[in-house]
């Protein structure tokens, strides 16, 4: 704890009372502190000593202390067990360990994300089956009475009211399109329940609330993980980049084993540092531009973004037309192709889009970080916009959203073409989910694998240029988030879709692991684990919001099918809730509930939240002002201290032979450990400094590559 030299330096005056007091204070503090011994940064022998000092053997510990210690151990064990549970009980630990050892934590974070999504899907499945399926199977509610008489003039003679009769009765094809499962619990249509009463379990309420509850839980879970991975930006007036020093100190992955992996990691780190330095220079140059140059620069930004925006608009309109065409021509002879046309177009768009974006962005010569971020943002926008457009165009054909068609007027949905529209929508999402998975498998085995084999077999400039596939983490993450968004969209129409998604994620893990270990090469651009956690969770959150909005709209405003499912006699699925509230709750509670849902409650709540937000913001501003003041004070105090030390050494007598207070003795610079920090005793103070200006060596030299670098101020 205490510096060795203060006790061993020869010729020194007796250990000063100051030094002894320090040691004693430290020991007292350690004995009295409540921190567990394991947290102290000492060797085990010393920790044991401190432990003995706190609670010596032979001294009877009081009952309360024993109980407290037992409670701490139990708490610790419970915490460990809970942590293990949230990590999936050690699922795939060995594989993650191997991947982390070979490729570092950046790529390992993708596979950890897969595990997180698998657990999320299993949780959703558990909720759904626990609240909906099990009661349904157990209670066996009676079927509702016969449906209302249905008369509707449908345009187009010879138009079959039941488009479900297909010419192909191939079992495999029926499985792929979902027709085989039409009357199973996979889709909405098979769920039936009797009329509501005040004493039975309401399957309808459970079916309605479980997707909403699952989305809410997922939202909270994602938000929590996102906040944990939030890169700390300095909001104290410096530019909006994560600090370079933090990057440098945390750049090595200590879990890497294997010499080749270490070499690759060194290349990555070196590239990253060089890129950061380049970026810093670029930023400095930018800051020195005139206004006209800055305006020009902004225009070039605008140019490429507008171009890419136009491409995205074109892509999503292609998806719109594809979906409309596929829905309008369900009975064509080519409907094999048309069944999978929308997913096919989405996949094509999302394959070509990023390539085009990368090409266009590179034409502009941005700094590397900006290039990467811009491309990534546009890829995310394209992915989510294509899914959004797909669901909108489905809504247009099935529910006549945004256009007036006579077939929608009487029942609120296109009853001519769709007898059970929820099933149709569920089938579309089911097909999209399966298609995405098959595409993943196809790419892994029909593109990456032959590519690797060809590159290994042939040699030549073309093959050397082609090389193995790069394992790009963002692209893979976007694919898996798309699958998860589709699952969330389909929670209402296809309640067992999470089961399917879990199976797909499970298989995807092994396929991606195989691709990574055998058919890929590490990308030269480093992908940090921290920014990746934040990025993954952010994209997942956007997907969740994209899935929640249509669900909210459908649940609250759209008429359900008259003939199938649970909400056949309701104006909208949400109408079950007021009915049940009226049945189950006594009038006072009903009044309270209505008040909570009305405007009279939400306005005061909004005002209260704004007040709280204002207080938080002003607090944080005051804190940042205080931090700035304290920094200045610290710098000033250290400068003053060095001035005093210099004055003292000037005033001391000239060094003679054997005089212990010469410039080379460490005592001349003060025997107190200079860097004694609160909380932990520091490992010691710096050695003797060269006389003169302590920061002389840090002034900017004329040969630095960047002009006008800010050097350290001279004292």
Partner 1 sequence: MGGSGSRLSKELLAEYQVRETRSPGSLRAACARERMVPVPRPGGWARPLAPGGLLTLLSRFAFQDLTFLTKQEILLAHRRFCELLPQEHRSVEESLQARVSLEQILSLPELKANPFKERICKVFSTSPSRDSLSFEDFLDLLSVFSDTATPDIKSHYAFRIFDFDDDGTLNREDLSQLVNCLTGESEDTRLSASEMKQLIDNILEESDIDRDGTINLSEFQHVISRSPDFASSFKIVL
How many residues bind partner 1, per CB under 8 A?
117
* C-alpha separations of 256 from 420, 452, 515, 570, 574 in Å: 55, 25, 20, 59, 53
Q: Report the site for partner 1 in 696-715 (rule: CB under 8 A).
A: 697-698, 700-701, 703-706, 709-713, 715
> Which residues ranging from 47 to 66 are in contact with partner 1 (CB under 8 A)?
47-49, 51-59
- Say which DSSP state 1 is in: -
State yes or no: residue 687 binds partner 1 (CB under 8 A). Answer: yes
End-to-end Cα spacing for the chain: 31
Torsional class of 412: left (φ above 0), alpha (ψ -120 to 50), beta (otherwise): left
626 binds partner 1 (CB under 8 A): no
Helix (H) or strand (E) holding 432: helix 421-443
From candidates 43, 63, 299, 651, binder to partner 1 by CB under 8 A: 43
Using CB under 8 A, which of 14, 39, 145, 658 touches partner 1? 39
Q: How far is the CB of 270 from partner 1 (least distance, A)?
A: 4
CB nearer partner 1, residue 57 or residue 654: 57
Residues 6+ apart with CB under 8 A from 424: 398, 418
Task: Specify the residue, 174 or 639, whose C-beta has the smaller distance to partner 1.
Answer: 639
Task: State the Cα–Cα distance between residues 450 and 201, nearest whole angstrom.
Answer: 56
| 3-class DSSP state of 244 | helix
Following CA atoms 357, 280, 272, 536 in sequence, which dihedral angle do they give, to the nearest 10 degrees?
-50
Minimum distance from CB of 135 to partner 1 (Å)?
Answer: 40
Q: Is the Cβ–Cβ distance between 393 and 319 less than 8 Å?
A: yes
List 12, 46, 371, 579, residue binding partner 1 (CB under 8 A): 46
Point out which span in 364-372, 418-426, 571-579, 630-638 binds partner 1 (CB under 8 A). Answer: 630-638
DSSP string, 242-287: --HHHHHHT-S-TT--SHHHHHHHHHHHHHHHHHHHHHHHHHHHHH
| Residue 302 touches partner 1, criterion: CB under 8 A | no
**Identity of the residue, 102 or 546, whose beta carbon is nearer to partner 1 in the bound complex:** 102
Q: Does 686 bind partner 1 (CB under 8 A)?
A: yes
Which sign, positive or negative, has the C-alpha torsion 623, 626, 632, 634? negative
- Between strands 520-521 and 469-470, the pairing is parallel
- Residue 322 as a binder of partner 1 (CB under 8 A): the answer is no
- By CB under 8 A, is residue 38 in contact with partner 1? yes
* Angstrom distances, CA of residue 423 to CA of 411, 418, 428, 541, 672: 17, 9, 9, 26, 78
Site for partner 1 in 644-673 (CB under 8 A): 673
> Residue 550 or 673: which CB sits closer to partner 1?
673
| C-alpha to C-alpha distances, 333 to 143, 168, 342, 458, 616, nearest whole angstrom | 37, 10, 17, 44, 63
Q: What residues does 470 pair with on adjacent strands?
A: 521
- The binder of partner 1 chosen from 338, 473, 533, 558 (CB under 8 A): 533
Cβ neighbours, 10 Å, residue 647: 10
| Paired residues of 521 in beta bridges | 470
By CB under 8 A, tell whether 589 contacts partner 1.
Answer: no
Question: Given candidates 145, 155, 158, 679, which one binds partner 1 under the rule CB under 8 A?
Answer: 679
Nearer to partner 1, 236 or 608 (CB): 236
Contact, 706 vs 51, CB < 8 A? no
Binding segment (CB under 8 A) for partner 1, from list 384-392, 474-482, 611-619, 633-641? 633-641
Cβ proximity of 30 and 50 under 8 Å: yes
Nearer to partner 1, 102 or 415 (CB): 102
Report the half-sphere exposure of 55 (CA within 13 A, side-chain side). 11
Stretch that binds partner 1, among 38-46, 216-224, 423-431, 473-481 (CB under 8 A): 38-46
Name the segment binding partner 1 (CB under 8 A); options: 40-48, 401-409, 415-423, 468-476: 40-48
Q: How far is the CB of 656 from partner 1 (least distance, A)?
A: 24
The DSSP secondary structure of 622-638, one letter per residue, reads HHHHHHHHHHHHHHHHH
**599 to each of 136, 575, 607, 612, how far by Cα in Å?**
36, 19, 12, 20
> What is the distance between the alpha carbons of residues 444 and 518, in angstroms, rounded to a whole number?
11
User: Which of 166/242 has CB closer to partner 1?
Assistant: 242
Using the contact rule CB under 8 A, the part of the chain among 240-248, 453-461, 568-576, 606-614 near partner 1 is 240-248
Alpha carbon 9 to chain centroid, angstroms: 55
Q: How far is the CB of 634 from partner 1 (least distance, A)?
A: 5
Q: Which CB atom, from 280 or from 655, has the smaller least distance to partner 1?
A: 280
Output 49 or 325, the one with its CB closest to partner 1: 49
506 within 8 A of 564, measured Cβ to Cβ: no
Residues within window 166-205 making contact with partner 1, judged by CB under 8 A:
none
Q: Which is nearer to partner 1, 556 or 704 (CB)?
A: 704
Site for partner 1 in 74-93 (CB under 8 A): 80, 83
What is the smallest separation between the CB atom of 117 and partner 1, expressed in angstroms?
Answer: 19
Q: Which of 34, 169, 232, 290 binds partner 1 (CB under 8 A)?
A: 232
Q: How far is the CB of 102 from partner 1 (least distance, A)?
A: 11
Sites for partner 1 among residues 15-34 (CB under 8 A): 23-24, 27-28, 31-32
Least separation in angstroms between CB 659 and partner 1: 21
Q: Which is nearer to partner 1, 68 or 591 (CB)?
A: 68
Binder among 273, 301, 463, 506 for partner 1 (CB under 8 A): 273
Q: How far is the CB of 96 from partner 1 (least distance, A)?
A: 10
Does 635 engage in binding with partner 1 (CB under 8 A)? yes
Strands (E), 365-477: 469-470
Backbone angles phi, psi at 25, to 5 degrees: -60, -40
C-alpha 388/C-alpha 383 separation (Å) is 9
Query: Does residue 460 bind partner 1 (CB under 8 A)?
Result: no
How many beta carbons lie within 10 A of that of residue 490, not counting itself? 28
Window of 3-11, 160-168, 178-186, 368-376 that interacts with partner 1 by CB under 8 A:
3-11
Task: Considering only residues 274 through 293, tell me which ones interact with partner 1, judged by CB under 8 A.
Answer: 274, 276-277, 280
Residue 332 makes contact with partner 1 by CB under 8 A? no
Q: Which of 547, 569, 546, 548 is nearest to 559 (CA)?
A: 569
Give the whole-angstrom CA distance, residue 212 versus residue 469. 40
Report the residue from 631, 640, 649, 652 that binds partner 1 according to the rule CB under 8 A: 631
* Nearest residue (CB) to partner 1, 156 versus 702: 702
**Which of 18, 41, 75, 707 is the binder for partner 1 (CB under 8 A)?**
41
C-beta closer to partner 1: residue 277 or 503: 277
CA distances from 78 to 69, 93, 145 (A): 14, 20, 52
Shortest separation between residue 63's beta carbon and partner 1, angstroms: 17
SS3 state of residue 470: strand
Nearby residues of 18 by Cβ (< 8 Å), 6 or more positions away: 671, 672
Whether 356 and 311 have beta carbons less than 8 Å apart is answered as yes
The interface with partner 1 within residues 242-271 (CB under 8 A) comprises 242-259, 261-263, 266-267, 269-270
Q: Please, which of residues 89-148 interact with partner 1 by CB under 8 A? A: 97, 105
In this structure, what are the phi and psi dihedrals at residue 470, rounded to the nearest 5 degrees?
A: -85, 135
Which of these, 386, 345, 423, lies nearest to 543 by C-alpha position?
A: 386
x-or-dash string of contact with partner 1, 484-523, rule CB under 8 A: ----------------------------------------
**How near is the Cβ of 633 to partner 1 at its closest, in Å?**
10
């Amino acid at each position: 704890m205490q510096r060795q030299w203060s006790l061993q330096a020869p010729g020194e005056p007796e250990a000063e009372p100051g030094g002894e007091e320090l040691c004693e204070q430290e020991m007292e503090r350690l004995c009295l502190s409540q921190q567990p011994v394991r947290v102290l940064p000492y060797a085990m022998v010393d920790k044991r000593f401190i432990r003995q000092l706190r609670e010596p053997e032979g001294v009877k510990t009081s009952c309360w202390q024993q109980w407290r210690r037992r409670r701490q151990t139990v708490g610790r064990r419970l915490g460990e067990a809970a942590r293990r549970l949230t990590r999936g009980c050690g699922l795939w630990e060995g594989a993650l360990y191997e991947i982390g050892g070979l490729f570092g934590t950046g790529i390992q974070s993708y596979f950890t994300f897969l595990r997180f999504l698998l657990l999320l899907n299993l949780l959703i499945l558990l909720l759904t089956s626990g609240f909906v399926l099990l009661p349904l199977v157990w209670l066996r509610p009676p079927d509702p009475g016969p449906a209302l008489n249905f008369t509707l003039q449908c345009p187009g003679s010879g138009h079959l009211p039941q488009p479900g009769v297909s010419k192909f009765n191939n079992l495999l094809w029926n499985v792929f399109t979902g027709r085989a499962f039409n009357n199973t619990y996979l889709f909405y249509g098979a769920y039936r329940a009797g009329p509501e009463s005040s004493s039975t379990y309401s399957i309808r309420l459970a079916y309605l609330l479980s997707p909403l509850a699952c989305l809410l839980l997922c939202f909270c879970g994602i938000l929590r993980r996102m906040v944990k991975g939030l890169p700390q930006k300095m909001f104290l007036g410096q530019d909006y980049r994560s600090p370079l020093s933090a990057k440098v100190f945390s750049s090595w992955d200590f879990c890497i084993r294997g010499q080749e992996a270490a070499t690759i990691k060194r290349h990555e780190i070196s590239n990253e540092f060089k890129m950061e330095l380049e970026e810093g220079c670029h930023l400095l140059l930018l800051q020195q531009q005139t206004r006209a140059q800055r305006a020009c620069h902004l225009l070039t930004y605008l140019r490429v973004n507008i171009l890419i925006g136009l491409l995205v608009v074109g892509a999503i309109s292609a998806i719109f037309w594809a979906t409309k065409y596929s829905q309008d021509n369900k009975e064509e002879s080519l409907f094999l192709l048309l069944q999978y046309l929308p997913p096919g177009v989405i996949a094509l768009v999302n394959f070509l889009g990023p390539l085009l974006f990368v090409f266009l962005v590179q034409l502009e010569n941005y700094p590397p970080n900006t290039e990467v971020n811009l491309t990534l943002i546009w890829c995310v926008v394209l992915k989510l916009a294509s899914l959004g457009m797909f669901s909108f165009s489905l809504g247009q054909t099935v529910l006549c959203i945004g256009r007036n068609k006579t077939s929608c007027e009487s029942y609120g949905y296109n009853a001519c073409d769709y007898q059970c529209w929820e099933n149709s929508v569920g089938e579309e999402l089911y097909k999209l989910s399966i298609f995405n998975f098959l595409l993943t498998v196809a790419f892994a085995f029909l593109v990456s694998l032959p590519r690797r084999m060809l590159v290994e077999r042939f040699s030549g400039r073309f093959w050397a240029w082609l090389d193995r596939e790069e394992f790009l983490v963002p692209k893979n993450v976007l694919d898996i988030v798309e699958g998860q968004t589709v699952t969330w969209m389909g929670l209402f129409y296809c309640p067992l879709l999470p089961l399917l998604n879990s199976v797909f994620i499970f298989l995807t893990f092994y396929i991606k692991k195989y691709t990574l270990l055998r058919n890929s090469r590490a990308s030269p651009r480093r992908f940090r684990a921290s920014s990746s956690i934040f990025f993954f969770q952010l994209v997942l959150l956007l997907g969740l919001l994209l899935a929640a909005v249509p669900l909210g709209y459908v649940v609250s405003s759209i008429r359900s099918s008259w003939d199938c499912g649970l909400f056949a006699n309701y104006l909208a699925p949400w109408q079950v809730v007021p009915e049940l509230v009226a049945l189950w709750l006594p009038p006072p509670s009903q009044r309270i509930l209505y008040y909570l849902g009305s405007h009279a409650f939400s306005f005061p709540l909004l005002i209260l939240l704004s007040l709280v937000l204002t207080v938080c913001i002003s607090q944080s501003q005051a804190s940042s002002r205080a931090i700035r003041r304290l920094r200045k004070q610290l710098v000033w105090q250290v400068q003053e201290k060095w001035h005093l030390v210099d004055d003292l050494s000037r005033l001391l007598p000239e060094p003679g032979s054997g005089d212990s207070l010469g410039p080379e003795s460490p005592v001349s610079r003060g025997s107190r450990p200079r860097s004694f920090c609160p909380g932990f005793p520091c490992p010691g103070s710096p050695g003797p400094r060269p006389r003169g200006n302590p920061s002389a060596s840090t002034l900017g030299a004329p040969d630095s590559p960047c002009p006008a670098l800010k050097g350290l101020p001279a004292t």
